[in-house]
Amino acid sequence: MSYDPTAYALTVTALEQRRRDRENEYAARKARLCRDLPGLAAIYDGLVSCAGRIAKAVIDGNDAEIERARTEAHALNRRKIALLQDAGHTREVLSNAPICEKCNDSGFIGVMPCVCFDEEYRRQQARELTAMMKGGLHDFDDFELNFYSDEENEAFGISPRENMRNNLYILKEYAAVFAPGQRSLVLIGDTGLGKTFLSGCMAKEVSARGYSVAYESAYVIFSLLEDQKFGRGGDEDRTKRYFECDLLILDDLGCELAGAFSTAALYNLVNSRLLNRRSTIINTNLTLAELKTRYSAQIYSRIAGDYDLIFLFGQDIRPMLK
């Protein structure tokens, strides 16, 4: 599994902020109690003094002084607890325990990410994907089959509803068992048949399982790559992610401006991800014949030969959704 660099950086920042917030909240709570409870500040000063004495005694090898300082520290802690309880507080009021005891709020156990890191990473990636998708992320359970006709399509020998029921099963299974290197998909069908919605469902589920997912329109990807190639700026980290994420969802292929650059960029992206065993989902309104005509025989060969083809047909459901 590879981490999305943007979501990774945001996760590190979020965990650092969480640690700072905990320390600041503890310091403010401690200062408030020391102000309100006479004698508490002096107890803390005594505890600091005991800690210093113990450290020096350890260096000096003075076991007797270590024992004396520890005894005094225990007595001070008992006085602190009694003072807090007399004021109606529990002993936990001045606890500065980490939120995650496994990693002490560092986010890592040794060099391995902690469970809390992965949980925050999934939240950050979900926020990022939501921002990428204008309609937001969706759940498979929200997909409504009743919008599709149950009348048999003569060309396909099956009704649009039954076809979508089969597709829904395939795509749910794909997301549920996703692992890096899984076969790529191309969703082929006219506008308004649910390609983007279903891709959003897969993006949400795959990212929730900790895999890095990028979701972008073909127009935006090719524009960014073109800007970068010809020195017009461009976000290098963002374009790098399109090549390195565990799952790339390339939406609306065929809606970008046709030309030699978009053809070359598409071939480079598709071929690179196939060679590096990185999964891709392509959404397109183009037929296979139109893909071959618009781009190249090489691209057609890669997609037709190395991608599983998912066909969607029927009536545009968006007017019904409105």
pLDDT tens for 104-129 read 888 999 888 898 888 888 888 777 77
pLDDT tens per residue across span 54-92: 999 999 999 999 999 999 999 999 999 999 888 898 878
pLDDT exceeds 70 at position 318:
no
- Residue 122 domain flag: no
How far apart are alpha carbons 142 and 22 in whole angstroms?
Answer: 38
Residues 287, 218: one domain?
yes
Cα angle: 129, vertex 269, 183; to 5 degrees: 75
What is residue 321's predicted lDDT score, i.e. its pLDDT?
60
Write phi, then psi, for 279 (nearest 5 degrees): -80, 145
Answer yes or no: is pLDDT of 134 > 80. no
Which has more confidence, 110 or 171?
171
Residue 257 has a pLDDT of: 75
**Is residue 302 included in any domain, yes or no?**
yes
Q: Are 69 and 16 in the same domain?
A: yes
Residue 208 has pLDDT above 80, yes or no: yes
**Are 103 and 150 within one domain?**
no
CATH number for the domain spanning 153: value is 3.40.50.300
61 shares a domain with 194? no
Q: Are residues 149 and 269 in the same domain?
A: yes
Q: Which pLDDT value is given to residue 72?
A: 93
pLDDT at 50: 93
Tell me: do 147 and 216 sit in the same domain.
yes
Helix 260-275 vs helix 218-229: angle between axes, to the nearest 10 degrees?
100
Q: Are 189 and 300 within one domain? A: yes
Total-model pTM: 0.70
pLDDT attached to residue 242: 87
Domain contains 125: no
Q: Are residues 266 and 191 in the same domain?
A: yes
Q: Looking at this protein, which amino acid is placed at residue 155?
A: A
pLDDT at 279 over 90: yes
Domain boundary among 82, 112, 142: 112
pLDDT tens track for 228-239? 877 666 667 678
Number of domains, the chain:
2
Q: What is the mean pLDDT of residues 273-295?
A: 91
Q: Domain containing 202: what range?
A: 133-321
Residues 36 and 95 in one domain: yes
Tokens of 289: 């014949």
Mean pLDDT value across the chain: 87
Assess if residue 126 is contained within a domain.
Answer: no
Tell whether 121 is covered by a domain: no
Give the residue-averaged pLDDT of 3-18: 85
Same-domain check for residues 17 and 138: no
In a domain, 127, yes or no: no
| 123 in any annotated domain | no
Q: Are residues 94 and 147 in the same domain?
A: no
- If one compares 139 and 174, the residue with the highest pLDDT of the two is 174
Same-domain pairing of 263 and 302: yes
